[in-house]
């Protein structure tokens, strides 16, 4: 069975898709959501195989939702949109599945046939995430766990990021957030022009750097505006210096 999540802010659109998917013996609709944050929570909680994701939604678009996903663990995404704009050409070029509203049952069945071929392919799952990041650019907001819920924080509020085994500690001025994510994937989402690695397990918000303290034998510490000091690895020293004009 393919476990499906339906995301659309319009109830009639969800109803139609739910009815048609219910006719497929190998598809189970495990959840529905009317907004982007709810969709992200359902993806984290339900681990669906495929998400039918409306692009135009209030608060958080479908592209923003997809951009938040971790590339190597994302479900297969079928974007749903009422706007035949330039993004559709990008979907075609990247072999990312989409439905253009108003679509009929025949069009949905053709999409499902492609989904069945691609759903077990990790590369196919990552394509939608990569395309969404290309379309949205560096994420200005980040979804972080907060108890059983997800919270949107501003990317610029992040002071530094620290890897801890398979998790990341996201440090802000008022609290720390713990999330399962790889450093490489998160920096790709946030935009590496905003954040710099100073150690294999630490990245800092470049705008938060206030001082560089020389230590012995060419080593340095990075001091942030809140006073936090972090060790600068020699491996990343030259790259950091070139970015901050040292």
All structural domains of the chain, each given as residue ranges with its CATH number in brackets, are: 2-136 (3.40.50.2300), 143-244 (2.40.50.1020)
How far is Cα 244 from Cα 246, in angstroms, rounded to an integer? 6
Q: For residue range 91-112, list pLDDT tens digits in order.
A: 887 778 999 999 999 999 999 9
Is the entire prediction scored with pTM above 0.85? yes
pLDDT at 55 over 70: yes
pLDDT at 246 over 60: no
Return the higher-pLDDT residue of 62 and 219.
62
pLDDT for the residue numbered 122: 84
pLDDT band at 59 (very low <50, low <70, confident <90, very high): confident
Q: Which of 24-28, 33-37, 80-84, 236-240 has the lowest mean pLDDT?
A: 80-84
Q: Report the relative pairing of strands 167-172 and 176-180 from DSSP bridges.
A: antiparallel
pLDDT at 146 over 90: no
pLDDT for the residue numbered 215: 86
pLDDT for the residue numbered 86: 59
pLDDT at 4 over 90: yes
How far is Cα 49 from Cα 95, in angstroms, rounded to an integer? 17
Long-range pairs, 148-152, Cβ under 8 A, ≥24: 149/41, 150/37, 150/40, 150/41, 150/44, 151/177, 152/37, 152/60
3-class secondary structure for the chain? CEEEEEECCCHHHHHHHHHHHHCCCCEEEEEEECCHHHHHHHHHHHCCCEEEEECCCCCCCHHHHHHHCCHHHCCEEEEEECCCCHHHHHHHHCCCCEEECCCCHHHHHHHHHHHHHHCCCHHHHHHHHHHHHHHHCCCCEEEEEECCEEEEEEHHHEEEEEEECCEEEEEECCCEEEEECCHHHHHHHHCCCCEEEEECCEEEEHHHEEEEEECHHHCEEEEECCCCEEEECHHHHHHHHHHHCC
Sign of CA dihedral 79, 84, 89, 95: positive
Question: Do residues 88 and 96 lie in contact, with contact meaning Cβ atoms separated by under 8 Å?
Answer: no
Above pLDDT 70, what percent of the chain?
99
pLDDT band at 210 (very low <50, low <70, confident <90, very high): very high
Q: What six digits make up the tokens of 242?
A: 């070139």
| Sheet containing 167-172, strands listed edge to edge, beginning at the edge strand earlier in sequence | 176-180, 167-172, 158-164, 202-205, 195-199
């Amino acid at each position: 069975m393919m476990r499906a999540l339906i995301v659309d802010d319009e109830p009639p659109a969800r109803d139609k898709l739910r009815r048609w998917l219910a006719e497929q013996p190998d598809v189970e609709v495990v959840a529905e959501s009317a907004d982007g944050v709810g969709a992200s929570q359902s993806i984290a909680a339900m681990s669906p195989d495929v998400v039918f994701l409306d692009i135009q939604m209030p608060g958080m678009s479908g592209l923003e939702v997809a951009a938040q996903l971790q590339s190597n663990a994302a479900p297969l995404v079928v974007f749903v949109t009422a706007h035949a704009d330039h993004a559709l050409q990008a979907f075609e070029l990247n072999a990312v599945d989409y439905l253009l509203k108003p679509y009929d049952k025949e069009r949905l069945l053709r999409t499902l046939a492609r989904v069945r071929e691609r759903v077990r392919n990790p590369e196919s799952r990552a394509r939608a995430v990569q395309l969404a990041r290309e379309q949205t650019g560096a994420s200005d907001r980040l979804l972080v766990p907060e108890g059983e819920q997800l919270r949107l924080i501003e990317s610029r509020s992040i002071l530094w990021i620290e890897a801890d085994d398979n998790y990341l500690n996201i440090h802000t001025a008022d609290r720390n957030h713990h999330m399962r994510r790889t450093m490489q994937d998160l920096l790709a989402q946030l935009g590496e022009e905003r954040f710099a690695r100073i150690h294999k397990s630490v990245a800092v918000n470049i705008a938060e750097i206030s001082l560089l303290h020389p230590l012995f034998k060419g080593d340095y510490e990075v001091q942030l505006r809140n006073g936090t000091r972090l060790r600068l690895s020699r491996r990343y020293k030259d790259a950091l210096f070139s970015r901050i004009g040292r």
